[in-house]
Amino acid sequence: MSLRNIVNKIFRLGSQTTATSTTRTLSSIERRRQEDIQKLDALIPNPSETSPEHQTNSSTTTTCIHERVSTHALQQTLHLLAQIQTNHTPDHQLSIQNSLVGDSSGDGLFLEKGTLHPGSVVALYPGTALFHEEISFFGGVHHMFPEDEEMDWFIHRSDGVVIDGLGKTHELNAIGGGGNMASSDGGDTEGHALAEMMDKLTLLQTQGTSCMPDQTLNNPFAIAHKANHPHQGIPANVVAVAIDYCFSTMNPQLFPYIPTRHAILPNVLCEQGITFVASRVIEAGDEIYLDYATSKESRPEWYNDAVRT
């Protein structure tokens, strides 16, 4: 059965919903992440800052700030991947140890060796990616994952891409005629969602870059999902920055070290990723902390607002 026939079979079961609490959570995350990116941009050396054009135009726009920080993070990430690929020892090393946050926090991510300064890439977020077209088609993340624990390792990009640190997949041939989907009313919205998802999947099938399912094991820095939210009174020391690889111009020898793949087509690499960038000096022995920035409606009992300075 073709991919299109499988999707059409599933589509007849329906899909449509939005979760208000999810929207509020994403708004909270996005607002704080924008603040963090703007602060990080001020810490990253930028040769163009002295030009009149930069001072009067681009430096004041949020889009340009995000582009600068993302471009910087991508360059740093590609340099790190090249070091791994050529067996050169990177300037820092990471380890997973018992977190200092508390007894119930489990593993934590630590800087084992080296010193990281603001703007340095710390770690890469691994996992499987879902795009907004797929999430919309299947009825939203809360419909796809009804148990809160299933979303504990999710991290969101502002463009609607969600990366699942647990690497869960949703292969259509595994779903078959089933799938956990909302009831359908057969409306135009659902037809549009189907068309968007089919366009995305067809493009990936024909032009995507293939990968091995377990290739994150090749990358010792693909453990950003182990970073915890800081305990009370402690600031975060990294910022999650969205990066976009360009596989058509990249060295193919770096592909085995890309830690994200598509959730519905898990044998295809994902160009959309997230890297953690240091927002303050991190010394050897320090734990890596990311501000989870959840909204009041969705935060767990243990959550405390991170110190924001």
> What gap in Å lies between CA 161 and CA 107, rounded to an integer?
26
How do strand 127-130 and strand 260-262 relate by DSSP bridges?
Answer: parallel
Residue 41 buriedness (CB in 10 A; 0-12 / 13-18 / 19+): buried
Mean pLDDT, rounded, of the chain: 78
* Beta carbons of 281 and 116 less than 8 angstroms apart: yes
Q: Cα–Cα distances in Å, from 198 out to 128, 130, 168, 255?
A: 18, 13, 20, 25
Q: Look up tokens 């060295």; give the residue.
A: 251
Residue 207 buriedness (CB in 10 A; 0-12 / 13-18 / 19+): exposed
Confidence of residue 245 (pLDDT cuts 50, 70, 90): very high
Instruction: Choose among 159, 158, 131: nearest CA to 28.
Output: 158
| Number of CB atoms found within 10 A of residue 283's CB | 10
Mean pLDDT, residues 131-144: 79
Query: What 3-state DSSP class applies to 218?
Result: helix
33-51 residue pLDDT tens: 888 898 899 988 764 443 4
In this predicted structure, the answer to whether residue 261 has a pLDDT above a threshold of 50 is yes
Token couple for 164: 């699942």
Mean pLDDT, residues 93-114: 91
Token couple for 269: 């690499």
189-238 residue pLDDT tens: 556 767 777 787 888 888 888 887 666 668 999 999 999 988 888 899 99
